[in-house]
Structure 1
Amino acid sequence: MPAPVIRPYRPEDRGAVFDICMRTAEAGGDARGSYRDQDLLPNIFAAPYTELEPDLAFVLDGGAGPVGYVLGTSDTPRFVREFRRTWLPVVADRHPLPAGEPTTPDEVMTALLHRPERMLVPEVADYPAHLHIDLLPDYQGRGHGRALLTELFAALAGAGAARVHLAMVTANTAARAFYDRMGFHEIPVADPGPLTYLGRATS
C-alpha cells in the first residue's frame, strides 16, 4: 500500500469526509448507530468548512481516497456570519429546526446547526481561527494527525491567523493527550458544558 499523503480537499472527497466524520464523532468513536440522519453531523462539522473555506481543507489520502481530514477557518466571526448567510439556507430544509425542546440526539444536533453563533465564545476571541480534525482509527497514532495539523497551521498563518482554537468533548481523553503533545493549552471558559477549549499559536 502506498504511504498516505496530505493533499487539498476535492469535491469528490465529500462522501468519504462525511463517512469519516460519522465514524469518529462519538468522542472519537463511531456515531453511525446514534443518529438517524447520517448527513446531520457532517453538515454541521465538515461540509460548511469545505464549502466556505476550501483553501483550509486538507485530507489524508490513503491511496483509495481520504482516511482523515483537517478543516478550519482563519476567522471564526466571519465564518459564523457566512454560515448563517450562505450555508444554513442550503441545509435548513434538509434538517428543519425541531419544534419545542430537543429530546433526541438528532434534535439536539439540529438545534446546534441552526445556532452557529454558539461558536462565538468570548474567552477564545484572541484565538480567531478554529479547526476540526478526524482520522479513521487505523491511521491514528502514526504521525498523520501531527502532519495534518502542521499543514493547516501553515495555511492559517499564511491567511493571517496567528492563533487557533478547538473545542473537544472533555471525555475524549485520547484526543486531549494528542492535543497536549501538539502544544495546545486549555483556555478557561465560564460555561463550557461537555466541551474543553484548547488553543495555541499557528507558528
Structure 2
Amino acid sequence: MANVDGTTGVTVRTYREQDRSRLRGVLARSGEGDPAATSVFGEHDPAVWLDRYADGDPGSFFVAEEDGELLGYLTGCLDTSALPSDSECFERLLRTERLFLRPETALFLGRMAFDSIVDRGKETAKEFDDPRWPSHLHIRLVPEARGKGIGSALMRRWQERLREEGSPGCFLQAMSENTEAIAFFERMGFEHHGRPRIISGFRGRNGERLHLQTMVWSP
C-alpha cells in the first residue's frame, strides 16, 4: 500500500476479492466525459474489463482508495497471451450470452460489416502482439478523481511491478481522439508505436469514426 503524493488520504494498493462488486460502479462511471467512450459488451463489461484480470492476474490489479471509497483502478497483465483477448471475449459472449440479440450489438455488427467494405485497403486497428512488449494495462478513474495525481500513482505502481517481475515492456491501446488520455500516457513515459488506425464498427458520441493508438513503454 502506498500513499499518493499530494493527495491526503488516498492510497494505492493491490486488488482484494471484496473489491470486485464495488469496482463495477467505478467502471460504470469511468466513461463520463470521455468523448470517445463506447461499449460493445454492455452489461457484460465487468466480465471483460474487471473479472478476467481479477481471476487471471490479480497481482497486477491495483486500486486507488480514499477513506474506503474506490476512486479508480488499473488492471494489468504481465503476459497478454495468458488471458483471453478482447475478440475472444466478444466471440464467447456472442455465443453464450446471445449478445447479438442486443440492439446495440446488432448495430455494432452491422457497422463492422459496412466498415469492412469502406475501409478496404486502409490500415485498420487490430490486437497487438509483439514479444518486446508482452504486458498490457487498462486504467479507469471516476471523474472527480482526475487531475489529482491518482492515475499517475496507479501507473507508477504498475511500472514498479513490471520492473520487479522482469517484464521487457508493456503496451496499451487508447482512442487517439481521447487527447487527454494520450497526453497522460506520454507523461508516464509511453511512446507512440505506429500511427493511429481506424477502428471498424466504433463511432464517437456524434457518430464520427474513431482511431486506435498503440503506445509502448519499456523499463
Q: Shorter-chain TM-score: which interval?
A: 0.7 to 0.9
User: Is residue 14 from structure 1 mapped to residue 31 from structure 2 by the alignment?
Assistant: no
Larger RCO (CA under 8 A, 6+ residues apart):
2
The two structures have a TM-score, normalised by structure 1, of 0.75
**Residue 40 of structure 1 aligns to which amino acid in structure 2?**
H
The two structures have a TM-score, normalised by structure 2, of 0.70
| 2:104 equivalent in structure 1 | 104
Instruction: For residue 27 of structure 1, report the CA deviation from its aligned partner.
Output: 7.1
Instruction: For residue 187 of structure 1, report the CA deviation from its aligned partner.
Output: 0.8
Change (3 A) 1:191 1:175: closer
Is the CA contact 2:138–2:172 (under 8 Å) kept in the aligned structure 1?
Answer: yes
Instruction: For residue 104 of structure 1, report the CA deviation from its aligned partner.
Output: 1.6
CA distance in 2, matches of 1:158, 1:90: 35
| 1:63 equivalent in structure 2 | 67
Change (3 A) 1:196 1:28: same
Of all paired residues, the percent bearing the same amino acid is 24
Change (3 A) 1:148 1:108: same
CA distance in 2, matches of 1:137, 1:26: 7
Out of 168, 181, 198, which is 2:215 matched to?
198
User: Is residue 153 from structure 1 mapped to residue 166 from structure 2 by the alignment?
Assistant: no
**Residue 63 of structure 1 aligns to which amino acid in structure 2?**
D
Instruction: For residue 165 of structure 1, report the CA deviation from its aligned partner.
Output: 0.7
| 1:44 equivalent in structure 2 | 48
Change (3 A) 1:35 1:152: closer
Describe the superposition over 1:6-30 as per-residue Cα deviations: whole angstroms up to 9, x where unpaired. Answer: 1111111112221211212367379
Count matched residues. Answer: 187
| Larger Rg, first or second structure (1 or 2) | 2
Cα RMSD, aligned residues only: 3.6
Give the unaligned 5+ runs of structure 1.
110-117
Describe the superposition over 1:95-122 as per-residue Cα deviations: whole angstroms up to 9, x where unpaired. Answer: 33427xx86258749xxxxxxxx97424
Describe the superposition over 1:138-171 as per-residue Cα deviations: whole angstroms up to 9, x where unpaired. Answer: 1111111111011011112222312111111121
Instruction: For residue 50 of structure 1, report the CA deviation from its aligned partner.
Output: 1.1
Secondary structure of 1:198's aligned partner: strand
CA distance in 2, matches of 1:121, 1:35: 20
CA distance in 2, matches of 1:166, 1:63: 30
CA distance in 1, matches of 2:36, 2:25: 10
CA distance in 2, matches of 1:39, 1:168: 21
CA distance in 2, matches of 1:135, 1:39: 19
Out of 115, 128, 152, which is 1:121 matched to?
128
Structure with bigger strand share is 2
